[in-house]
Amino acid sequence: MDLVSLRPEGLYCAAGDFFIDPWRAVDRAVITHAHADHARGGHRHVLASQDSEAVLRVRLGASLPFQGLAYGDRIDHHGVRISLHPAGHVLGSAQVRLEHAGQVWVASGDYFASGHDESNPTCPAFEPVRCHCFITESTFGLPLYRWAPQAEVLAQIGDWWRDNAATGHASVLLAYSFGKAQRLLAGLDADIGPMLVHGSVAAINEAYLASGVDLPETALLDSSTDPRAVARALVVTPPNTLASPWARALGPHRVAFASGWMQLRQARRRQGMDRGFALSDHADWPGLQRAIGATGAQRVIVTHGEEAVMVRWLRAQGLRAETFRTPFGDGEVGEAGD
Ligand SMILES: [Zn+2]
Ligand SMILES: [Zn+2]
């Protein structure tokens, strides 16, 4: 029998009677990370990585019934051995390893891997876990998605910020508040100018700092901020905040979006950005291939994004491949991370 199957509530482990990242409220949920398309409220019991606790409580409420598990530690539930392993996506992100009756399955959640030897500096790197069946995300599972080395992209963003500051423009950098914002702050040169953040970014920064991740000093941007303080600044804020009063009160400024979707020229044009920087917290096409190969899995279930091309490619490699269709996938706008 399959260790994990698809139910209306989400991915279900029948042997252990629990769900992984369910999108409806359930009794027992294992949550891979705190992005909104994985972490829903209302569950009666939540198991997740220790490192994800602070952000999950920011997102789902302080009274969340939470059980934390350190990466690599194991618990047994109804005879199913459960352990969590770094996914390299955001703070606390985990792959879920399940072992039962000699079968090992791994559900990846979202993960970061690329064709370059690099990892997300704000969380432990993706760790390949050997398994019989690997349930992989495929947000950017098309051959056209190939990330440039992140140091290169961060240098381009730094140049953009420096040029804007030289002409008295603020640099408004749109980024999801959980994950992308912290990765940008950690990776950019704080000597270029002051760094200001939106309140939703500041709240998540706190959780990163509490977990021991190094972030530069930032100031909160709101309606009380002195406009003169913004002139040379980098402003890191989620895409949906551009209509806020403080944003309309900004002096001269330029706007860019940091997202994997920015690899597509149409996406940049549609968003009406001055610039787009393709920096993603997800695996690109070579990263997906490399990560899947490293699991040694003979069976792969593709979910969460571009599935058809990936399934075809996996079958051409002689693997058994299929999809789980979930209500969430590519192109989602909001606090899903990208
Ligand atoms: Zn995510
Ligand atoms: Zn996701």
Task: Please report which confidence band the pLDDT of residue 266 belongs to, taking 50, 70 and 90 as the band edges.
Answer: confident
* pLDDT tens track for 154-180: 999 999 999 999 999 999 999 999 999
Q: How far is the CA of 88 from the centre of ligand 1 (A)?
A: 10
**Total of domains in the chain:** 2
Q: Is residue 74 part of a domain?
A: yes
Q: Which alpha helices (H) appear in the chain, and where do they start and end?
A: 53-60, 150-166, 180-187, 199-210, 227-230, 245-248, 265-271, 285-295, 308-316
Give the model's pLDDT for residue 225: 82
The answer as to whether 332 is a domain residue is no
- How much is the average pLDDT of 200-222? 94
Point out the domain boundary residue: 277, 296, 331.
277
| Ligand that comes closest to the CA of residue 178 | 1
272 and 297 assigned to the same domain: no
CA of 89 to the centre of ligand 1 (A): 7
Task: Read off the pLDDT of each residue in 96-122 and give the average, rounded to a whole number.
Answer: 96
Shared domain check, 98 and 15: yes
Span from the CA of 62 to the centroid of ligand 1 (angstroms): 21
What DSSP assignment string belongs to 119-156?
--TTSPPP-----SEEEEEETT-STT--PPPHHHHHHH
Helix-then-strand count for the chain, H and E: 9, 19
Kindly report the average pLDDT of the chain as a whole number.
93
Q: Are residues 106 and 11 in the same domain?
A: yes
Q: Closest Cα partner for 108 from 80, 85, 142, 91?
A: 85
Q: Do the Cβ atoms of 299 and 321 come closer than 8 Å?
A: yes
Question: For residue 305, which ligand has an atom nearest its CA?
Answer: 2
Residue 190 counted as domain residue: yes
Nearest to 171 by CA among 272, 246, 250: 250
Task: Tell me the CATH number at 220.
Answer: 3.40.50.10710
Q: Are strands 275-277 and 253-258 parallel, antiparallel or unpaired?
A: parallel
The residue among 85 and 329 whose pLDDT is bigger is: 85
Q: Answer yes or no: is 171 within a domain.
A: yes
Span 40-59, mean pLDDT? 96
Pairing relation of β-strands 28-30 and 18-20? parallel
Per-residue tokens: 294: 């490293």
- Other CB atoms within a 10 A radius of the CB of residue 42 amount to 10
In this structure, are residues 106 and 129 in contact, taking their beta carbons and an 8 Å threshold?
A: yes
Does residue 329 belong to any structural domain of this protein? no
The closest ligand to the CA of 280 turns out to be 1
The pTM of the full predicted model, rounded to 2 decimals, is: 0.94
pLDDT at position 265: 74
pLDDT of residue 166: 95
Confidence of residue 330 (pLDDT cuts 50, 70, 90): very low
Q: Where is pLDDT greater, at 268 or 217? A: 217
Judgement on whether residues 129 and 19 belong to the same structural domain of the protein: yes
Pairing mode, strands 299-305 and 133-138: parallel
Burial 310-324 (b: 16+ CB within 10 A, else e): bbebbeeeebebebb
- Domain assignment of residue 70, yes or no: yes
Supply 254's token pair. Answer: 């330029």
Between the CA of 337 and the centroid of ligand 1 the distance, in Å, is 5
Whether residues 12 and 117 fall in one domain? yes
What is the rounded average pLDDT of the residues 308-337?
Answer: 79
Q: Of 107, 105, 104, which Cα lies nearest the Cα of 96? A: 107
pLDDT of residue 39: 96
Please write the tens of the pLDDT for every residue from 178-195.
Answer: 999 999 999 999 999 999
Q: Which amino acid is at 221?
A: L
Please report which residue ranges of 123-264 form alpha helices under DSSP H. Answer: 150-166, 180-187, 199-210, 227-230, 245-248
Task: Please indicate, yes or no, whether residues 112 and 156 belong to a single structural domain of this protein.
Answer: no
Confidence of residue 336 (pLDDT cuts 50, 70, 90): low
Single out the residue in 277, 311, 332 at which a domain terminates. Answer: 277
14 and 137 within one domain? yes
Whether residues 128 and 21 share a domain: the answer is yes
> How far away, in angstroms, is 22 Cα from ligand 1 center?
14
Query: Residue 331 pLDDT more than 70?
Result: no
Q: Are 75 and 184 within one domain?
A: no
Q: What percent of the chain has pLDDT over 70?
A: 95
* 37 Cα–ligand 2 center, Å: 6
Structural domain of 224: 150-277
Same domain assignment for residues 136 and 238: no
Mean pLDDT of 67-93: 98
Name the token pair of 80. Answer: 């199913």
Q: Last residue of some domain: 221, 249, 277?
A: 277
Residues near ion ligand 2 (CB < 5 Å) are 37, 110
Given a contact cutoff of 8 angstroms between Cβ atoms, the answer to whether 322 and 155 are in contact is no
pLDDT of residue 203: 95
Greater pLDDT, 113 or 305: 113
pLDDT over 90 at 231, yes or no:
no
CA of 20 to the centre of ligand 1 (A): 14
Question: What's the CATH code of the domain at 300?
Answer: 3.60.15.10
Q: Are residues 240 and 294 in the same domain?
A: no
Of the ligands numbered here, which is closest to the C-alpha atom of 33?
1
Confidence tier at 333 by pLDDT (50, 70, 90): very low
- In a domain? residue 335: no
State residue 12's pLDDT score: 98
* Angle between helix 53-60 and helix 199-210 axes, rounded to 10 deg: 150
Q: Looking at the structure, tell me whether residues 88 and 211 fall in a common domain.
A: no
